[in-house]
Structure 1
Amino acid sequence: MSLTSEEARAVGARVREHAAGLGARVTVAIADGGGHLLLVERMDGAPPLSARIAPAKASSVALFHRDGGELVRLQQAWPALFAQMDQVAGMPVIAGAGSRLIRRGDAVVGAIAVSGGVPEHDDACAEIGLASLSAIVSA
């Protein structure tokens, strides 16, 4: 089952709500399993560059089928490969905090990425987004 636009909007709303509670201003991006964006929402006051970073992180995670932390480790292990990966992918490849795969069972159906806060806030917001998606699907 693929990720729907309605689910992406509901997750985005939950992430923004959680970020506001933390005092963070972020951009949330959600991509489908092929790395194509379903949602990009930038909160008022979020850093302007976060609107570019979050979509790139979401697409990267979806394409690599690896969470952001694992991508960081791969980037550190093979920096020369990652330096050229954006040419192969046809888009920026960014590894970082606040980016997670969205799975249904064993299948990767998308990715969520949050940018603009400190890494711990980005991670917490991405986790809340995943948890809220589980609640939406169960409802």
Structure 2
Amino acid sequence: MPCSQTDAEAVVAAAHAKARELGIEVTVAVVDEGGLLQVLSRMDGAPPISAQIAEAKAVGAALWHREGDSLAQVQQQRPAFFTQVDRLARLPIMPGEGSLLIRRGDKILGAVGVSGGAPAQDRECAQAGLDRP
């Protein structure tokens, strides 16, 4: 079962709140366990391309069941394999910081992707989305 719409919107709200605290503008994407978009929200001032990047980060994490930094390692260690798998997804996969898995216990419900800040800031915003009260 994917993350609910209400939960997905709460992830986005908390990630945006963290971005405001950091003084940056980001886009946040939440996808279900199959990599299908549930919520996409771009803050005023966030780069237009950040919407596509945030979704591509979230899709990669959800489909590979790996967070973005781990996915970047796969891309570096096995570039030919990564390229082939990337072609199977409906969107290009964007590895790197800023994408985290949404879990309930040991079950993966989907993923969140953030784009618009520096890589560590994107990850911080994504984590804030997961840590929401």
**TM-score w.r.t. structure 2 length?**
0.95
More helix by share: 1
The letter of the residue matching 1:45 is G
Indicate the residue corresponding to 1:11 in structure 2: 11
Q: What displacement does 1:7 show? A: 0.9
Q: What displacement does 1:38 show? A: 0.5
Distance 1:57 1:98 in 2: 7
Indicate the residue corresponding to 1:53 in structure 2: 53
Indicate the residue corresponding to 1:29 in structure 2: 29
SS at match of 2:51: helix
CA offset digits 1:117-137 (Å, max 9, x no partner): 0111101101101101xx3xx
The letter of the residue matching 1:36 is L
Runs of 4 or more above 3 Å deviation: none
Q: Does 1:87 align with 2:80?
A: no
Q: What displacement does 1:90 show? A: 2.8
The count of aligned residue pairs is 133
Distance 1:7 1:90 in 2: 24
SS at match of 2:131: helix
**TM-score w.r.t. structure 1 length?**
0.91
Report the aligned-residue RMSD: 1.1
